[in-house]
Amino acid sequence: VAVLRKVGCPILFSRLKASLTMARSVSCDSRELEDRPLAQPRSFGLAFLAAVICGSINNLTYCVISGASQSLVRHFRMQSQVAVLTMSMTGFSLMTAVVSTRFLIQLRFYTRVLLVLFMCTATYAGMAVASTMEGAAGFVVAVLFSCVAGGQQVIGEVTNLAFLKAFPPELIGAWGAGTGISGILGGGIYVLLSGLLGLSNMVIFGLMLPTALPYWAAFHYLHREATRGKEGANLAKVVGGTSSLTRVGGDFGPREQLQPSEVMVAPATLANIQTAFRCSGFIMFNLVAVYVLEYAVFPGLADRETLCSSKEWYATMWMCYNIGVMMSRLSVAIFRIERVWLITILQLTNVVGWFAEVYSGRIRDALPEEHGLYIMAAWMIIVGLCGGATYGNCMYLFNNKEGIPENIRELGVNLAMMMSNVGIATITLSFSLLDNTVLAKSVVYPHGC
């Protein structure tokens, strides 16, 4: 900087100085949480319920498709491709996470949620149409709209998690509980409507179309509570997006400038990405690890374990997994675990145990009339407890851990989601290959069903 000043390069000097100022503003040296006035909703109970509704409906498209995936591929006569539906959701989730990190992060939270609602409605309509088709054509349409579901789920998740930062941390637990409830609802709705009532997949997906309305109502209420009484820089931070720093309905004057450390969202530059990894890399690692491990169990190993059982068992495993997820994610509203790596190790133990069970069948064949699968369902709840606990506590740490700059937090969540989807896509693709080789039906069930 001194050399540039002496040789007369004022433009380069000013730019380099600004870059150094920005670098200092996003360092991890500070041990204090940034001053962040939290929104206090007039009714905490209503706000908690609204966050639960947002979480449950946001992930419901993903969960309904996951619960119905085994039935769908049977309908299309492509039984060995059950992992493809999940992989398509995951793959497009990865692409969407990249787009969100680079572009959508600049939009206000409300705008992003409206986009999520549109994608949610389109997913249900598209899956209903696909369910009326036969063979490979129907399968391709189902895969296409599964991609839309994956993108919708990721955009909604990163948007709501960043938005809820404006509230007390208990609402993160409410959101997490909602995402767990979505799994219970997704599997439960499918088992009820298809198994007990005998409805077709087309009717089931059609009945899901109106769910976008309560999602909008719940988020609208939270947004109104978050912005109530806010003005200037505080309002700009609550509404989200980088463009909101200069346009917030006249409340944020053109002369009022935010310092780099006050900016709501840091752009995805190389320097900011490096800072995000440096400040929250350990959180990212555990979040990615738990996603990979839980997807190894469901849908990967759960599909092989229930391959010769009644079709309701696969959806039941998904529902039991999400019972555990709901319980553990809700626990963040009561207590938190900072040593999340302990849960990751426990989840790894679960994966090893499930692999052994799939090959040996000791538990599923231990009791007659498929009663052994009740034990596996209980074990699936434990898998969900580990996965949900890691997710909930990682999200709490992203939003509240000391040493993470305020404007880096949402970028860190986006990067973590992007890497998680890379891991999910990898493990799902691996099972697509394993299901036709070492985990093929002839290998796992050498004597047939």
Q: What value does the mean pLDDT take over residues 418-447? A: 82
Q: What value does the mean pLDDT take over residues 203-212? A: 91
CATH topology of domain 41-240: Growth Hormone; Chain: A; (1.20.1250)
Q: For 85-136, what is each residue's pLDDT tens digit?
A: 766 776 777 777 777 767 777 788 999 999 999 999 999 999 999 888 888 8
| Whether residue 26 has pLDDT greater than 50 | no
Amino acid letter for position 376: M
Amino acid letter for position 299: P
Q: How high is the pLDDT of residue 123? A: 92
Q: How high is the pLDDT of residue 263? A: 47
269-448: which CATH architecture? Up-down Bundle (1.20)
Q: Pick 382 or 364 by higher pLDDT.
A: 382
| Whether residue 24 has pLDDT greater than 60 | no
Per-residue pLDDT band for 251 (boundaries 50, 70, 90) equals very low
Q: What is the DSSP letter of 422?
A: H
What's this model's pTM, rounded to 2 decimal places?
A: 0.70
Q: For 319-361, what is each residue's pLDDT tens digit?
A: 788 788 888 877 777 788 888 889 999 999 999 999 999 888 8
Q: Which of 187, 82, 221, 203 is nearest to 139 (CA)?
A: 82
CATH 1.20.1250.20 residue window(s) in the chain: 41-240
When mean pLDDT is compared over 6-20, 39-53, 95-109, 414-428, the highest value belongs to 39-53
Tokens 């189902």: give the residue: 142
Q: How high is the pLDDT of residue 124? A: 93
Per-residue pLDDT band for 82 (boundaries 50, 70, 90) equals low
Q: How high is the pLDDT of residue 381? A: 93
Q: How high is the pLDDT of residue 409? A: 83
CA-CA distance, 222 to 381, in Å (whole number)? Answer: 31
Q: For 52-70, what is each residue's pLDDT tens digit?
A: 999 999 989 888 887 787 7
Q: How many CA atoms lie within 13 A of 445 on its CB side?
A: 13
